[in-house]
Amino acid sequence: MAENTPKPAAGNAPAKPKPAAPRAAKPAPKAAAPGAAKPQAPKAAAPKAAASSGVTKPPVDRPDPNPFKDSKTSALGGWFQERFYVIMPILDYLKKKEVPKHRLSFWYYFGGLGLFFFIIQIITGLLLLQYYKPTEADAFASFLFIQGEVPFGWLLRQVHAWSANLMILMLFIHMFSTFFMKSYRKPRELMWVSGFILLVLSLGFGFTGYLLPWNELAFFATQVGTEVPKVAPGGAFIVEILRGGPEVSGETLTRMFSLHVVLLPGLVMLVLAAHLTMVQVLGTSAPIGYKEAGLIKGYEKFFPTFLAKDGIGWLIGFALLIYLAVMFPWEIGVKADPLASTPLGIKPEWYFWAQFQLLKDFKFEGGELMAIILFTIGGVVWLLVPFIDRQASQEKKSPIFTIFGILVLAFLLINTYRVYAEYSILK
C-alpha cells in the first residue's frame, strides 16, 4: 500500500497527491528540475528499483479485498471473510430468508429430519465400513464381530438400521405433506422432481443394504425382490444385471455393496445439493389461498430462528433413534444358506410392502406384469404431478389432486397394513 499511495510532505504538498500519469512521470532521468517534483516526500517516492530506472509507478486504487467486511466480525471471521468473500452474498441471502408461519407450519420440519437421518447414515455407515467385509464367506462373520466384539459396535449397527427406517419414514411424511400443501406448484416443480428422485434413491439404499449382513432373511428377500422384473419384457436382463448372474450369490453381494456405498451416496449427494439449493433460492411456499385469507400469522427468519427449531426437531429425532436402537434391536438371524429351501414368512422391508401386496393380489396369468405396469404408470404420474396440476400453478385449489393424493396414501397404508397383519400371524 505504502508503495502506491505516497504520503505527501507536510506543508507544501497537496492534500491528496494526484496520481502521476505514466507520461508525466517518465522524465527526470537525473535530477528533478527545481520545483517540479516538490510535493513528493523522500519516503513516498517511487520504489528504489523504479527510481533507479527512472520510472515512477502511479499509485493504484486497489479494490478492497473484502467488500463485506463489517466492524462486528471477529478476527477469525474476518480471516475467512477475506478469503471467501465471494460467498458472502449467499450468507446475506440466508440471513434474509423467511419462513411463513401458519397452522400447517409443523410439516415444514420433516424435510430437515430426513436430512438429519441421512447425515447419521453417512457417519455410522463410514464407521461400520471399518469392520465390514463384503464377501460371501466373511460378511455374516464380520456382522457378528461388529455386534459382539467391537466397542459400541452393536449400537453403531442398530443406529444405522433404525436411522435408515426413520429416514424413509420422514421422507414419506415430507413427500405427502408437500403434496397436500401443493408445494410442488410453480415455480417449485423441480423441487418435487428432485425430491422424488431422492426418495427412489433412498429406497435403493434400503434394498441394497438389506443383503449386506448375508443372513437368511436378507438372502431370500433379495431372491424374491430381484425376481420381480423378470415378468416384464427385457426383465431377465435387468435381473442378471442386479444379481451379477442367474442366481443371488456372492456376486450379488459385491454389486449391492458397491451400489450401497459408492454409487447411491454419490447420486444422493448430487441430487440433494440441487434440492437444498432450490429450497434456499425459491424459499418456502405457503398453502394456496392462505395469504389472501389472512391465515399467515407472520414470518420467521430462516437463520437463526427456523434453523434453531429444526435443531430441536433433530434432538427429538436423535433421542427417538437411540431409544429404538437400544430397546428394539434388529436381529442378526442365521447365516444365509443358498442351498436351503425358502423359509416361511419371507417379506421385504416395510416400505416395499404395498408393492409386494399388489403383486400378491395379482397372482393370476399375466397379473404380475399388469401390477408392474400399473405401478410404473402411477409412479410416472406422481412424478409429473407439478406439470399436470395446472390449477395449483395458477394459485387455484385443485381438489382432484387432493383426492388423488388421498387415494395413493390410502393404497400405501392399506396394503402395508395387510402385509403387517398377515405376517404377524405367521410369526
Choices 53-61, 135-143, 188-196, 359-367 (CB under 6 A): range interacting with ligand HEM: 188-196
Q: Please state the closest distance from residue 115 (CB atom) to ligand HEM, in A.
A: 4
Distances (CA, A) of 331 to 41, 143, 195, 218, 325: 84, 11, 32, 11, 11
Residues 198-227 that bind ligand HEM (CB under 6 A): 198-199, 202
Q: Is 260 in the site for ligand HEM (CB under 6 A)?
A: no
Judged by CB under 6 A, the residue of 6, 110, 125, 168 near ligand HEM is 110
SS3 call for 160: helix
Check: CB of residue 224 under 8 Å from CB of residue 346: yes
Q: Is 175 in the site for ligand HEM (CB under 6 A)?
A: yes
Q: Please state the closest distance from residue 279 (CB atom) to ligand HEM, in A.
A: 4
Beta-carbon contacts of residue 14 (< 8 Å; ≥ 6 apart): 8, 39
What stretch of H or E contains 299? strand 298-301
Residues 283-342 that bind ligand HEM (CB under 6 A): 284-285
Residue closer to ligand HEM by CB (options 110, 214) is 110
Sign of CA dihedral 347, 351, 354, 355: negative
Choices 54-62, 90-98, 176-184, 391-399 (CB under 6 A): range interacting with ligand HEM: 176-184
Burial readout 177-211 (b: 16 or more C-beta within 10 A, e: otherwise): bbbbbbbbbeebbebbbbbbbbbebbebbbbbbbb
User: Residue 53: which of 19, 34, 28, 33 has the closest Cα?
Assistant: 28
DSSP tag of 248: -
What stretch of H or E contains 98? strand 98-101
Q: Is 182 in the site for ligand HEM (CB under 6 A)?
A: no
Q: Is 147 in the site for ligand HEM (CB under 6 A)?
A: no
181: cell is: 400443501
As a whole number of angstroms, the distance between CA 282 and CA 175 comes to 18
Residue closer to ligand HEM by CB (options 310, 368) is 310
Q: Please state the closest distance from residue 256 (CB atom) to ligand HEM, in A.
A: 20
Q: Is 195 in the site for ligand HEM (CB under 6 A)?
A: yes
Residue closer to ligand HEM by CB (options 59, 265) is 265
What would the x/- binding string for ligand HEM be over residues 41 to 60, using CB under 6 A?
--------------------
Judged by CB under 6 A, the residue of 6, 59, 118, 253 near ligand HEM is 118
Q: Is 157 in the site for ligand HEM (CB under 6 A)?
A: no
Q: Is 178 in the site for ligand HEM (CB under 6 A)?
A: yes
Cα three-residue angle 315-322-205, rounded to 5 degrees: 95
Chain mean position to CA 226: 27
First and final CA of the chain: distance in angstroms? 80
Residue closer to ligand HEM by CB (options 182, 243) is 182
What stretch of H or E contains 101? strand 98-101
Q: Which residues are near ligand HEM by CB under 6 A?
A: 108, 110-112, 114-115, 118, 171, 174-175, 178, 183-184, 188, 191-192, 195-196, 198-199, 202, 272, 275, 279, 284-285
